[in-house]
Amino acid sequence: MARLAVNVDHIATVRQARLAAEPDPVIAAALAELAGCHGIIVHLREDRRHIQDRDVALLRETVKTRLNLEMAAIPEIVKIALAIKPDMACLVPEKRRELTTEGGLNVAGQKKSIRATVRELHKKGIVVSLFIDPDAKQISAAKECGAEFIELHTGIYSNARTEKEQDREFDRICGAVETAAALGLKVNAGHGLDYRNISRLVAIRGIEEFSIGHSIIARAVLVGMERAVREMLELIQQGSHRGGR
């Protein structure tokens, strides 16, 4: 069965709206783990709009599954990652004015700098993933840079307005999984996935983990964190059992 990693960034978004002490993403992460998720994700942004340095430090001490730190490949954040030593670091593109990550990392266009960052992280025993679009050129570049994982950007699939558009992107994702497997890369997937659109993707053989945040946090506001996580896990289990491409 594919795994579920829960991104708790938007628990911190609510907290930072009032610069208060709650809700605490560290507590939310513990509840998600109690519900059965397989990992916790946080994105430490350069502008610290939600997750703070304190959160990452405490999560490193308290997470019982695996901690995945999403991060831009900039010296300040790389230095923090090297000190904290998350289980995985996922390199992502980052723009100050974007609401959320808008697309995959252009690995092919900056192989030299990304390769250097990957090497630094590896020296501390940190597994590296690169967040990229489902594109063969980017997948090959990720392999050249030494990453063990890629995380496929599923935003276009998730935001598709027509069935035809979603089918086209679904096929791209399937092809990307096959390309990555042929190169010996492991595959995660995420961005914009929710309780409705996850069902097709979980049937794809070769996706090891789904990274999901906003939809789980949004549901947790209404039904509680543990129930929201369990309901997503059930959908992943059901889809995995059906099998597929």
> Is residue 61 annotated as a catalytic residue, yes or no?
no
Annotated catalytic residue within 10, 33, 38, 70: 70
**Which value, in Å, is the radius of gyration of the alpha carbons in the chain?**
17
Name the amino acid, one letter, at 55: D
Check whether the bond before 23 is cis (ω within 30° of 0).
yes
Q: Which residues in 12-87 belong to E strands, given as ranges?
A: 39-43, 67-71
Nearest to 189 by CA among 166, 165, 170, 163: 170
Say if residue 179 is exposed, middle or buried (CB neighbours under 10 Å; 0-12, 13-18, 19+): buried
Q: Is 43 a catalytic residue?
A: yes
Cα dihedral 77, 49, 110, 172 in deg (nearest 10): 130
CA–CA distance, 59 with 5 (Å, rounded to integer): 14
Alpha-carbon separation of residue 102 from 62, 65, 99 (angstroms): 30, 28, 8
Query: What's the rounded Cα separation, in Å, for the pair 191 and 210?
Result: 9
Is 187 strand, coil or helix?
strand
- Active-site option among 43, 120, 153, 209: 43
Any catalytic annotation for residue 102?
no
Report, as residue numbers or ranges, the catalytic residues. 43, 70, 191
